[in-house]
Amino acid sequence: MKVVLQKSGPAKVEIENKVHGEIKSGIVLLIGVTHDDTEKDIEYLVEKISNLRIFESEGKYFEKSIIEVGEEILAISQFTLYASCRKGRRPDFIEAAKPEVAKPLYDKFIEKLKEKGIKVQTGVFGADMQVHLVNQGPITLIIDSKLN
């Protein structure tokens, strides 16, 4: 699994001009799933994201985790994270898992974040979504469960 993590102020996801998920501040996650991902990948990413110190405390940056500050997560499925642009001019999505594989893993990932006590809002898997966010910092990190 691969995640693009962005520390964010207000963020929302719209589907057909209606807000589906919205947070006041916290983290926006774009989540990609590939063919050989398992619950082990989910466990690694959930632990890493929930304990990653990217929030400030008493004027010091990178001191507290999302759990410690009580912020929220907006999680969006993003198969294009596994696009290859090596050949030609059109991205190749062969490394992205098919929906029947990816959706259950994405759903399990969201469930595990919520089990950590984190408030999580989401988009809709496979939908055409418009994601709006205010990137703070800016802090943008790429976390790949295969590169741990």
Give tens-digit pLDDT for 96-114: 999 999 999 999 999 999 9
Rounded mean pLDDT of 126-133? 96
Secondary structure (DSSP) of 61-107: EEEE-HHHHT-EEEEEE-GGGG-B-SSSSS-B-TTBPPHHHHHHHHH
Interatomic CA distance for residues 21 and 31, integer angstroms: 15
Report the top-level CATH class of 2-147.
alpha beta
Annotated domain spans of the chain:
2-147
Per the CB < 8 A criterion, the answer to whether 90 and 104 are in contact is no
Q: Which of 6, 55, 79, 109 is catalytic?
A: 79
pLDDT for residue 148 is more than 80: no
pLDDT for residue 78 is more than 90: yes
Query: Does residue 79 have an active-site annotation?
Result: yes
Q: Which of 80, 93, 130, 140 is catalytic?
A: 80
Query: Does residue 6 have an active-site annotation?
Result: no
Contacts of 107 (CB under 8 A, 6+ apart): 125
Query: Does residue 109 have an active-site annotation?
Result: no
- Provide the 8-state DSSP code for 145: G
For residue 54, give Cα distances in angstroms to 25, 36, 57, 137: 13, 29, 10, 10
pLDDT for residue 147 is more than 90: no
Per the CB < 8 A criterion, the answer to whether 68 and 27 are in contact is no
The neighbouring-strand residues paired with 95 are: none
pLDDT in tens, 48-65: 999 999 999 998 999 999
Q: Which of 6, 34, 55, 78 is catalytic?
A: 78
